[in-house]
Structure 1
Amino acid sequence: MAEQSTSAESTESRTVLSWSGGKDAAYALFELGTDDVTELLTTISENGRSSMHGVRQKLYEKQAESIGLPIRFVELPQECSNEEYESRMADVMAEYESLGIERVAFADLFLEEIREYRENQLAETNIDGYWPVWNRDTDEQIEAFLDAGFRATVVAVDGSLLDLAFAGRELDSAFLADLPENIDPCGENGEFHTFVWDGPIFDAPVSVETGEVVTREVGDGKFHYCDLW
């Protein structure tokens, strides 16, 4: 099955949030408010993990349960071409249109090419793109995230930019202080990825434990992943 959902079609809200489980998506939901979002939308590899973050599907399910929103998983092949990705996402957007969804929100901060890509993918639909945290100063954004009471674990780091010791650490002031000067504090250029397990959008913290850190080849580079349970 290409996608799974527990969406309630009677929900009054008409916004879907593209969900990574990480800090920016969590803060975007905080800004939007859970009452204004119909469901969370994320992709998952057929091995049951996020292709970029390496997080298990069951942890996303626990996040959604604590947040109180349904989550839709779009399953992708482990070696997924861009054409296949776009085809599966187009099917989901077509279904959203039929349900009256008016916009999909994204937590991108400043990468113009990513925003343009998303806008192009929505151009043939009646669904608008929405960017609730767009163009925020990333130093201020990460401080706002922490000040709001969010807590997150770093689950993946770009091995060409950061040592594997950064993987598995909590995203806090000590982590930020240890980042090299050339690393964006929100990791917007893909330097690191996070899993949020507590904060104002959750009814209760998501219980997680860190496991081993492994290094995998990704494209022409390598990433260090910390397994979460």
Structure 2
Amino acid sequence: MESVLLIHNALGIHEILRHLIFLPSQEVISMILAMWSGGKDSAMAFYRASKLYKIDRLVCMIKNGETRAHRLKESILRRQSEAMGIEIVFGRYDENFEEILKSVFRSNEAEKVVFGDIYLEHHRNWIERVCKELGIEAIFPLWGENTKKLAEDIAREFNAIVIAVRKNFKDILGRRFDEEVIEYLLKKNADPCGENGEFHTIVVDGPIFKKPIEVTIGKHFEDEKYYYLEVL
């Protein structure tokens, strides 16, 4: 009690309150992450989100050393992140994709995560459920945009190469994603952004890169549904 009175007499009640209110608190570290596939949609989502937020890390989910849809190797994804000047972390999964994804978000202390989804409601609902369970804000910079306009914006901003196609779109495999490819897709009644899995790309240059990445196109290969180009 005596010590409290001494402080009161020395500082006055207003000074005491001021010191109590403005005591420095321990800083809470939180991260803004961006999902990364190596392709055009994740690149455009990153680009738009980076105008509003400082993104700390890329997150890429891989299986057997490569991305599931694009079939890009980990070494290529690291090459992209180095050219962007940002760290990339990987979630390595076999069966339990959701739990591994949650583990990556937790271990990186995510506060917000950027996603490249455009209009698939069921996938957005799944993402929002996963993020809500972890207290994370999901950010969708491309959501609801007209995909023709979005495709044109991407083609203008980024140098992207088509590296995987459903077999009925084989004519565009290996081509730069540009206005001619967009027109080809529209004539085939396909989504020009490939939101339904019509094709996938790798981005090798654009405004998010400090320098272009150099890649070599290797062998062609295929599975039941897709033709692919190996990227080295």
Query: Structure 2, unaligned stretches of length 5 or more?
Result: 1-26
Which whole-Å CA distance do the structure 1 matches of 2:81 and 2:105 have between them? 20
1:95 partnered with 2:107? yes
* Larger helix proportion of the pair: 2
Contact 1:158 1:224 (C-alpha < 8 Å) held by counterparts: yes
Residue 13 (structure 1) shift? 7.1
Which whole-Å CA distance do the structure 1 matches of 2:106 and 2:67 have between them? 23
Partner secondary structure for residue 203 of structure 2: strand
Contact 1:17 1:40 (C-alpha < 8 Å) held by counterparts: yes
TM-score (norm 1): 0.83
Residue 146 (structure 1) aligned to one of 149, 152, 155: 155
Which whole-Å CA distance do the structure 2 matches of 1:27 and 1:90 have between them? 24
Residue 227 (structure 1) aligned to one of 204, 227, 230: 230
Aligned to 1:214: 221
Aligned to 2:46: 29
Identical-residue share of aligned pairs (%): 33
Residue 45 (structure 1) aligned to one of 56, 59, 63: 63
Aligned to 2:83: 66
Which whole-Å CA distance do the structure 1 matches of 2:50 and 2:99 have between them? 30
Which whole-Å CA distance do the structure 1 matches of 2:159 and 2:228 have between them? 18
Contact 1:13 1:37 (C-alpha < 8 Å) held by counterparts: no
Distance of aligned partners of 1:13 and 1:122 in 2 relative to their CA distance in 1, 3 Å threshold? closer
Aligned residues: 204
Residue 158 (structure 1) aligned to one of 153, 166, 174: 166
Contact 1:155 1:225 (C-alpha < 8 Å) held by counterparts: yes
Aligned to 2:201: 194
Aligned to 1:125: 134
Residue 120 (structure 1) shift? 1.3
TM-score (norm 2): 0.82
Which whole-Å CA distance do the structure 2 matches of 1:110 and 1:170 have between them? 24
Residue 169 (structure 1) aligned to one of 175, 183, 186: 175
Residue 173 (structure 1) shift? 1.8
In terms of Rg, which structure is larger? 2
Paired residue type of 1:107: G
Aligned to 1:112: 121
Residue 211 (structure 1) shift? 1.8
Partner secondary structure for residue 134 of structure 2: coil
Residue 147 (structure 1) shift? 2.1
Contact 2:33 2:114 (C-alpha < 8 Å) held by counterparts: yes
Query: Structure 1, unaligned stretches of length 5 or more?
Result: 1-9
Partner secondary structure for residue 20 of structure 1: coil
Which whole-Å CA distance do the structure 1 matches of 2:155 and 2:85 have between them? 22
Q: Which runs of 4+ in 1 moved over 3 A?
A: none
Paired residue type of 1:23: K
Partner secondary structure for residue 193 of structure 1: strand
Deviations 1:35-55 (A, max 9, x none): 610100011112x21121111
